[in-house]
Amino acid sequence: MELGLKKRSLISEDDCERKRRKQEHGVVETSKYGDGMAWVRGCLIGKGCFGSVFVASMKKPKSRYSSYPPIMAVKSAEVSVSSSIQKEREVLNNIRGCRNVIRCFGEEITTGENGQMVYNLLLEYGSGGTLADLIKKSGRNGLPESDAKRHTRSILRGLRHIHRCGYVHCDLKPENILLVAVANQFTAKIGDLGLAKRAKQSKNGKLTCYQRGTPMYFSPEVVTDGVQEAPSDIWAIGCIVLEMLTANPPFDPNADGPGEPNEPPLIVSTLSNEAKSFLKGCFSRKSIYRWTAEMLLAHPFLEGTDDVDEDDDNIIEDTSEVFDINAISSLVMPDNEDDDDLISFSSFSDGFYSWSEEDVDATENVLNSCYSVEEETSATAPLNEVHQLPISFTISSGV
């Protein structure tokens, strides 16, 4: 009995020490990058090879006509190593206008404690964490099918918009789907576009063939030929949906690759017939036969989904369930601080807008609520036009 109590005591002490080290690490990271002109950097909530992500609050939350929401997520890195974040900002600027893609509110250079210049991307804060967090909390059975359907519809709407704008995400996975409070429920939004690329990007008439993203979610053509286009994102969608429904990764995460290059993940027999049919549309071995985001949105699996009307531009985003800014800890940080795939609460936007004093008054008791005004979505494209990915804009450099 005494041995058992002693063992539990040691475990508790280890947990406390680990938490203390993480908190100290977060304080060091926070002071390292400095604050913005209008915002104060809060605790560290994510870190990866790109840089670090922090919660940030406004210095004067009741400032009239502020262009920033009261609470944001700020992705930061020293200017000399911030090319990935700057490319992400460029992509977000070109795909703005969709409520199902995390929003970006701008960029700012700050000065760190040692005088170093720091690049900051000001992003929407996902108060519900990531889809990966939600799946983990669901236990062994996965999410209820109704919740999986609702999140799938939201993700597909965001992906349809990304494809119509001429981009391929290249790294869709539950960790890169953020949950934002909209109309009293959490809505899934696509984030982390740092690895996104222009569709059909070529050089000297040849397709650029190299892999980017997470191997577990690679489609057959990515594994065998290094080709990543819109259909490869659809394969990843299938993996995400399967993971939501079963709480299991699509392939063994300890394997060198995603299993046999031409074999889809195993679809368990306990799923509904509609779910099986939907997944088969995502897991066609030949990319030419894989369904598009537009087609999947019309699939019977998603019929009757209770979701916010995508055409309603007057929806108020509410993060009232978020903890107080000073109470948010670094508990979302994984134990391995050197892992390049650490959680990244990145977010993105459609440009600037003003916050009136009335807006801020409504958030007085919950500092980190964010009311946002959505822009109109782009015009609807024909069903099969998603594969052609027409590009209606130019950027200064390839992504």
In percent, the amount of the chain with pLDDT more than 70 equals 62
pLDDT of residue 388: 34
What distance in Å separates the CA atoms of residue 275 and residue 264, rounded to the nearest whole number?
15
- Centroid of chain to Cα 89: 14
pLDDT (0 to 100) of residue 384? 34
Residue 247 burial class via C-beta count within 10 angstroms: exposed 0-12, middle 13-18, buried 19 and up: middle
Yes or no: say if 88 and 346 are a contact pair by the CB < 8 Å rule: yes
Percent of the chain whose predicted confidence (pLDDT) is above 90: 49
pLDDT of 299 > 60? The answer is: yes
The answer to which of 158-167, 201-210, 356-365 has the lowest mean pLDDT is 356-365
pLDDT of amino acid 258: 53
Ligand-binding annotation for 75, yes or no, is: yes
The CA R_g of the chain, rounded to the nearest whole Å, is 21
Residues 188, 139: Cα–Cα separation, whole Å: 19
Q: Say whether 171 is catalytic.
A: yes
- In the chain, how long is the greatest CA-to-CA distance? 73
Res 294: pLDDT: 97
21 pLDDT tier (thresholds 50, 70, 90): low
The counts of H helices and E strands in the chain are 10, 11
Tens of pLDDT, residues 168-197: 999 999 999 999 988 888 999 999 999 999
pLDDT digits (tens, 9 = 90+) for 354-386: 344 444 443 343 333 333 333 333 333 333 333
Question: How far apart, in whole angstroms, are the C-alpha atoms of residue 354 and residue 375?
Answer: 13
* Predicted pLDDT at 62: 72
CA angle 106, 398, 214 (to 5 degrees): 85
Q: Lowest mean pLDDT: which of 49-58, 101-110, 290-299?
A: 49-58
| pLDDT tops 60 at residue 325 | no
Higher-scoring residue by pLDDT: 237, 267 = 237
* Active-site residue, from 171, 192, 307, 359: 171
Domains and CATH numbers, the chain: 11-126+322-361 (3.30.200.20), 131-313+378-388 (1.10.510.10)
Burial of 25 (0-12, 13-18, 19+ CB in 10 A): middle
- Cα gap 179→190, rounded to integer Å: 9
